[in-house]
Structure 1
């Protein structure tokens, strides 16, 4: 089973987000009472808005390094993060286990004199290594460690390092195009995400270390887009290539949508990632952006 899970993880990183765990930020705005507020939480798994806990004891888990709120003037405030300790079941029997779920759920209550504009919520995961190997007893193993940190190895099947970035927005008043937050891999909207309707075109720009990315044979980067009302529950999504950093797609349904992108780089002895040579084979950065469609 672990062999299958790791193979799907590698396939997801190298080919399609349909099989890979996604990392995202949920934002649901409420203006039933004034001033308005927003409910914020973390997302992890395969489908919106909640799929799995981030601190699951199995191989599919992720830590949160930063969870931050940026006001329209880019003043930063730390938000409440999840506890990074691996979760243990509090109730267990022969039929099921029950785990407490900390998804960093919190309320951001705006005030009468709050600065109008776009508030950005940015999350950065902890960089994590995954190594799939066969031990000296012939057992398939997956560890959250790099190759050089392991012993009792008969054969290495694959090793990678991954870090994920996620963004979402709260809009107070008029939308203005948000500035980059400086994430290593970042999706920046070129469309007013506070007022998207079914059938609208949504455009984004993708930056890697601040540089616009384009899809090519040597740079296998693109965006995918989906929703729990379109595609994600069935394991498919929309896809769009990048040209000079830009891509777009047409929204197909109401509800919460997520845009993803991924950038993979091979580790070589003399390349720019040479410090990781002998530790992992590939480094992946993933990024997501979530918004709601009316």
Structure 2
């Protein structure tokens, strides 16, 4: 009986996510994610943290180091290791996982403006404000300033954390239960925060690495009034959870862009 309920809910969510591709998926353009070769490892081992840019996971396109504001690894004991970026690459960093517990890798991208333009080729994204895009021809549909934040949670040994840390990103997804609860077939609760406060009625999407098509998400659900979303993770593997928030630009900015777009993601390992 439990399996039947899980499958029905999953396929309903797939339909919702596929519809989302055609309606709002283009609003964010490409998005940044932070991942690791192994999100489940043992103390004393070496791991590789890297960045992913685009829609295909785990790897789509390389990233220009100039666009990265912060790239760090937080240890279970609270220390912070700054990760290096260079050129246009995946910015892979080999790290030694010394401690037992939960590591958090984070990346913050510099805010950037992109514009959706309609021309004879259809819709295309242009870098820069709607004033700059208009000079290149076509009709400006809308322009947005994009703020992007991403995390990856690395389990080292027996991680007994009751919940994950809040890093203080302007837009952030925080799992409410610790790694021992990230088990296939269970409900995974997350809270979405905007400027430190719960983001109510905020759409949250999830997918596991390997789900097809690449630009779809296999689960979609809104947060409740406390900013909490409950995701049924129906299989083991690496899952990515994503949320996006869009607000009108301030009046003084609307000559350059129309919207403020915030995107957050978190990658974690669901155990069998």
Are 1:278 and 2:230 counterparts?
A: no
The Cα RMSD (Å) is: 3.2
CA distance in 1, matches of 2:208, 2:66: 22
- What is the aligned partner in structure 2 of residue 105 from structure 1? 92
1:79 is aligned, of 56, 77, 83, to 83
Closer, same or farther: CA 127–200 of 1 in aligned 2, 3 Å = same
- What is the aligned partner in structure 2 of residue 146 from structure 1? 129
Contact conserved, 1:69 with 1:78, CA < 8 A, in 2?
yes
Q: Which runs of 5+ in 1 are unaligned?
A: 1-10, 56-60, 85-101, 216-220, 268-272
Closer, same or farther: CA 194–31 of 1 in aligned 2, 3 Å = same
Contact conserved, 1:49 with 1:256, CA < 8 A, in 2?
no
Closer, same or farther: CA 290–274 of 1 in aligned 2, 3 Å = same
CA distance in 2, matches of 1:184, 1:64: 16
- What is the aligned partner in structure 2 of residue 259 from structure 1? 241
- Residue-by-residue CA offset, 1:77-107 (whole Å, 9 max, x unaligned): 21112425xxxxxxxxxxxxxxxxx201122
What's the offset of the Cα at 1:17? 7.7
What's the offset of the Cα at 1:23? 1.9
What does residue range 2-13 of structure 1 map to in structure 2 within 5 Å? none
Are 1:158 and 2:142 counterparts?
A: yes
Contact conserved, 2:39 with 2:269, CA < 8 A, in 1?
no
Structure showing greater Rg: 1
What's the offset of the Cα at 1:133? 4.3
What does residue range 192-231 of structure 1 map to in structure 2 within 5 Å? 192-193=178-179, 196-215=182-201, 221-231=202-212
Secondary structure of the corresponding residue to residue 252 of structure 2: helix
Secondary structure of the corresponding residue to residue 214 of structure 1: coil
Are 1:126 and 2:113 counterparts?
A: no
- What is the aligned partner in structure 2 of residue 288 from structure 1? 265
Closer, same or farther: CA 181–232 of 1 in aligned 2, 3 Å = farther
Secondary structure of the corresponding residue to residue 44 of structure 2: coil
More helix by share: 2
CA distance in 2, matches of 1:225, 1:118: 21
CA distance in 1, matches of 2:141, 2:25: 20
- What is the aligned partner in structure 1 of residue 8 from structure 2? none
State the TM-score, normalizing by the size of structure 1.
Answer: 0.72
Give the number of aligned pairs: 247
CA distance in 2, matches of 1:171, 1:213: 27
Contact conserved, 1:185 with 1:208, CA < 8 A, in 2?
yes
Q: Which runs of 5+ in 2 are unaligned?
A: 1-19
